[in-house]
């Protein structure tokens, strides 16, 4: 099991990054050094009893001894978070969860990774894209990212800067439901076209995805049809984030279980799962 750090640290930045989407930067040398792509943290406003529980959020960036989290304001916890300003304290524990599986030897990593994000699902993709881009064996990383409109493509500039840092190595393709930016339609249309292009083969490619569950199901079905391995990161609501309370369970295939499936805890056995192992 990873070491989990539980800290109350100073907010360095908490700023609007899109339509009701914020970026908070928190000093945390320990979590910044330890986090792996696809892992998450729990954030909690100290001293508050409502909500009492922390909120699970992916770690978007980790550098200069700080972590960035990008969050959509959807309810009480994220509303409280958005009201905080630089200099105030925030409770954080992490890194949590398994993260995207990457072999110990980078020579075994897929050379043509296909990243598919929907909505706020870009948040675990920055660290993943950077990890691949840092490997000389990576031919190219393709990020397909869909959102309801341009205003919800929060922190696109971070990905564009990453693409400039690695010229010709990071391809970013966006889709918007309303056509306000890039392709007019669903990100899964882009995935289908990419997979039909013949650039992604089982021997060199793998699909990594995060977004709403109905989208993940389509992403996984398309990958399956193309014969590609597919890893999906679930955003199941959580309470403890550390494997204790079982609020975050999802059904996983298990041949040893009497009914052929068992519950997995998204916070420890996930949030990243082999799409073939999930009962959708």
Contact positions vs ligand FES (CB under 6 A): 238-241, 243-248, 265, 267
For ligand FES, the closer CB: 12 or 245: 245
Check the CA dihedral 33-39-44-49 and report its sign: negative
At its nearest, how many Å lie between ligand FAD and the CB of residue 249? 12
Residue 187: strand, helix, or coil:
helix
> Among ligand FAD, ligand FES, none, what binds residue 244 when CB lies within 5 to 8 Å by partner kind?
ligand FES
For ligand FES, the closer CB: 218 or 238: 238
The two tokens of residue 55 are 């909120």
Chain positions contacting ligand FAD, by CB under 6 A: 40, 51, 55-58, 70-72, 74-78, 120, 123, 235-238, 271
At its nearest, how many Å lie between ligand FES and the CB of residue 56? 8
The contacts of residue 80 (CB under 8 Å, 6+ apart) are: 45, 48, 51
For ligand FAD, the closer CB: 96 or 114: 96
For ligand FES, the closer CB: 53 or 172: 53
Q: Please report the beta strands in the chain, taking only residues with DSSP state E, as ranges in sequence order.
A: 5-18, 21-27, 40-44, 55-58, 61-63, 66-72, 89-96, 112-118, 141-147, 170-176, 183-184, 205-210, 230-233, 249-253, 261-265, 272-274
Nearest residue (beta carbon) to ligand FAD: 75
> Among ligand FAD, ligand FES, none, what binds residue 240 when CB lies within 5 to 8 Å by partner kind?
ligand FES
> Among ligand FES, ligand FAD, none, what binds residue 76 when CB lies within 5 to 8 Å by partner kind?
ligand FAD
Give the integer Cα–Cα distance in Å for 201 and 110. Answer: 10
* 155 close to 115: Cβ distance less than 8 angstroms: no
> Among ligand FES, ligand FAD, none, what binds residue 265 when CB lies within 5 to 8 Å by partner kind?
ligand FES
- The residue among 255, 248, 245 whose CA lies nearest residue 273 is 248
> Among ligand FAD, ligand FES, none, what binds residue 199 when CB lies within 5 to 8 Å by partner kind?
none
């Amino acid at each position: 099991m990873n070491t989990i750090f539980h800290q109350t640290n100073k907010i360095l930045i908490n700023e609007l990054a899109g339509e009701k989407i914020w970026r908070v930067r928190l000093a945390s040398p320990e979590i910044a050094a330890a986090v792996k792509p696809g892992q998450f943290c729990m954030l909690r406003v100290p001293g508050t009893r409502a909500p009492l529980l922390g909120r699970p959020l992916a770690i978007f960036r980790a550098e200069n001894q700080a972590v960035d989290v990008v969050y959509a304001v959807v309810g009480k916890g994220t509303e409280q978070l958005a009201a905080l300003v630089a200099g105030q304290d925030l409770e954080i524990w992490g890194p949590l969860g398994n993260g995207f599986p990457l072999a110990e030897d980078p020579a075994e990593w897929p050379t043509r990774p296909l990243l598919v994000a929907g909505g706020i699902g870009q948040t675990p993709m920055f660290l993943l894209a950077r990890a691949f881009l840092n490997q000389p064996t990576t031919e190219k990383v393709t990020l397909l990212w869909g959102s309801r409109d341009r205003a919800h493509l929060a922190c696109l500039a971070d990905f564009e800067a990453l693409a400039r840092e690695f010229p010709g190595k990071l391809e970013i393709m966006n889709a918007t439901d309303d056509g306000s930016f890039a392709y007019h339609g669903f990100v899964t249309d882009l995935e289908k076209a990419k997979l039909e292009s013949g650039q992604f083969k089982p021997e060199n490619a793998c699909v990594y995805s995060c977004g709403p569950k109905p989208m993940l199901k389509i992403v996984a079905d398309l990958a399956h049809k193309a014969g590609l391995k597919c890893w999906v990161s679930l955003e199941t609501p959580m309470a403890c984030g550390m494997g204790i309370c079982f609020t975050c369970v999802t059904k996983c295939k298990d041949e040893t279980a009497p009914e052929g499936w068992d519950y997995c805890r998204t916070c420890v056995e996930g949030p990243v799962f082999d799409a073939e192992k999930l009962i959708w």
